[in-house]
Structure 1
Amino acid sequence: MIKIEGVSKNYGRGNAVSNLNIEIKDGEIFGLLGPNGAGKTTTIKMITGITEPTEGRVEINGYDICKNPLEAKLQFGYVPDSPDMFLKFTGMEYINFMADVYRVSKKDREIRIKELSNKFGMENALGDTIKSYSHGMRQKVVIMGVLVHNPKAWILDEPLTGLDPKSAFILKGMMREHADMGNAVLFSTHVLEVAEKVCDRVGIIKKGELIFVGTLDELREEFKADSSLERMFLEMTDDEEY
C-alpha cells in the first residue's frame, strides 16, 4: 500500500504540488493522469524519495520514505520517465548491478533474469552495451532491472513509452497479474486509452492539485454521462494539451 498524506512541494515560486491525499491499495492498478507540467513526475519523485516533500508524508507498506528511506525503498521498484542511464554497462551488467543493490541471491536472479528476458525478447541482447540499444530496448532493460528483485509495489513513470506493441501488451499483463496477487501498482501515463483499459482507479492532477480520485464509473457518475475517459479528461483539464 502507498499512502500520500497532505503532500506539497514548493520550489520557491509557488507549489508544484499542493496537498495531495491518495491511498493506493494493495491489489489495484492506480493511474496518475494529468496534462504536461501538472505535477505527475514531481509526485512520483516524492513517493520514491528522490525529492523530499515540503509538507506531508509518504508511506510505502508502512515505511515513511523520509524517516525510513532504506526500508521504504526496498518495498518498491521504480521505472523513471527516461531509460538513458548506465549507458556503458551491458544489459546483463546493469541487471546484475540492480540485483546486487537489492541483495538478490544468485539462484533467484538467474531465474528472474531468464524469465524477464524471455518475456521481453532480450535473450540475445543482454551482452551488448545499453548505449547501443534503441529507446525501446533501453526501456525494457530498465524495467527488467527494476523487477529483478520482485518488489511488492511497482511505481512506473510513463512505462509504455518506446515499447513495441507486444512488449507493451506483456507489461500491461504483468501489471494486472502483480496487482491480482495483492500488490500495488502506480503508473503515470499520457495514453488515456491505456488507463481506461488497465486501471482500477485513477487520479487526475491539474496544476499540482488533485481534482479527482476514483473509478471510471464514479467519474462518469460525476459527469452524468457515458463518455470516454478522453472526453471527460479534456473537460476537467480545460482542454489543456496532454
Structure 2
Amino acid sequence: MDYGGKRVLNGVNLEVSKGQIIGYIGPNGAGKSTTVKIMLGLIDSYQGEVEIFGQDIASGDPSYKQKIGYVPENAEAYDNLTASEYLVFTAELYGMGRGYAEEKAAKLLREFDLEDVMHTRLSSFSKGMKQKVLIISSVLHDPDLLFWDEPLSGLDASSMMVIQEILAQLAAQGKTIFYSSHIMDLVEKISNRIVLLVKGEIVADGSFEELQEMSEEGSLAEIFNQLTGFTEHRSKAEQFVAIVQEGQDYA
C-alpha cells in the first residue's frame, strides 16, 4: 500500500482463525496501525483483498463492523460525557437498545470498580480509569473480533492481570484478538501467535516457541531486537548516560 507517496505495506498476507490472540508488533512506523485501519474500513485506498467474516470489505457493506471492537492507541473520549453516557452512546452506534446498554454498561463498570463514578464526567478520570471505560466500550456489544492497540496503557498491575485473563477467556470462546503493544513480555505471555512487521513487511509469524527457534534468542524482546536489526540499545544507553554525566562549569 502507498500512503502519501510512500510504500507503507508490502505484501502483507495474513490468514486468521477464530480464537487466536495475535500479538501484532513492530517498530514505530512499521505499518501496524495502517493495517488495522484498513481492516476497520478507515482507509480504502489500498491494493489487494481484505476479507473479514468471509466478506470483502471493499464491497461497500459496512455491516461487518458491528462485530468488531476497537481500542486505538490514542483514543479520544468525549470528556464532557459521564462514563455511563459514553458507553451508552457507543453501544447505540452498534445498534444496541438504550435500556439494555445502560444495564450492561453498569454491570461492566462495577466489575472494573468504577460503579461509584459511572455518572461522573470522563474529564475527571485518571488515564487508567479512562482506559477501562474504553476497553468496556470495545466489548460492550459482544464483538467477534477485537483490535486492541496498547490497551493496558495507564493500568495498574492488578488491572493488567484481570485484562490478560479476560483476553484468554474471550479467545477460549472463539473471539479473535489483535493485540498490539511495545511491552514485549506482555505480548509474549498472552499471545498464541506473534506477527512481527518491519518496514511494512512481515518478517516473522508464528508462536513464541517458533520465533525462538528461528532466532535462537530467549525473550521476545531479544527476538524483536534481532529480527528488526536493532542491536545498539546498550551503546545508545551508554552514550546517553555519558552525556548526562558530562561536567559543567556553573561559574
Q: TM-score, normalization: structure 2?
A: 0.86
Q: Deviations over 1:120-164 (max 9, x none)?
A: 111111211112211111111111112111111111111111112
Distance in 1 between the 2:41 and 2:118 partners? Answer: 29
Distance in 1 between the 2:78 and 2:72 partners? Answer: 13
Gaps of 5+ in 1: 1-8
Q: 1:53 to 1:193 in 2, by over 3 A?
A: farther
Distance in 2 between the 1:171 and 1:69 partners? Answer: 32
SS of residue matched to 1:20: coil
Number of the residue aligned with 1:206: 198
Q: Deviations over 1:194-229 (max 9, x none)?
A: 111100001001111111111111112212x36111
- The alpha-carbon deviation at position 170 of structure 1 amounts to 1.3
Distance in 1 between the 2:118 and 2:61 partners? Answer: 31
**Preserved CA contact (<8 Å) 1:156 1:188:** yes
SS of residue matched to 1:231: helix
The structure with more helix, counted as a fraction of residues: 2
Percent identity of paired positions between Structure 1 and Structure 2: 33
Gaps of 5+ in 2: 234-251
**Preserved CA contact (<8 Å) 1:130 1:138:** yes
Number of the residue aligned with 2:247: none
Determine whether 1:64 maps to 2:52. Answer: no
Q: 1:66 to 1:131 in 2, by over 3 A?
A: farther
**Preserved CA contact (<8 Å) 2:217 2:223:** no
Give the structure with higher Rg (CA): 2
**Preserved CA contact (<8 Å) 2:88 2:98:** no
Determine whether 1:230 maps to 2:221. Answer: yes
SS of residue matched to 2:8: strand
* Residue from 17, 27, 31 that aligns with 1:39: 31
**1:46-85 counterparts in 2 under 5 A?**
46-85=38-77
Q: Which amino acid aligns with 2:220?
A: L
Determine whether 1:159 maps to 2:151. Answer: yes
- The alpha-carbon deviation at position 241 of structure 1 amounts to 8.9
Q: TM-score, normalization: structure 1?
A: 0.89
SS of residue matched to 1:205: strand
Q: Which amino acid aligns with 1:93?
A: E
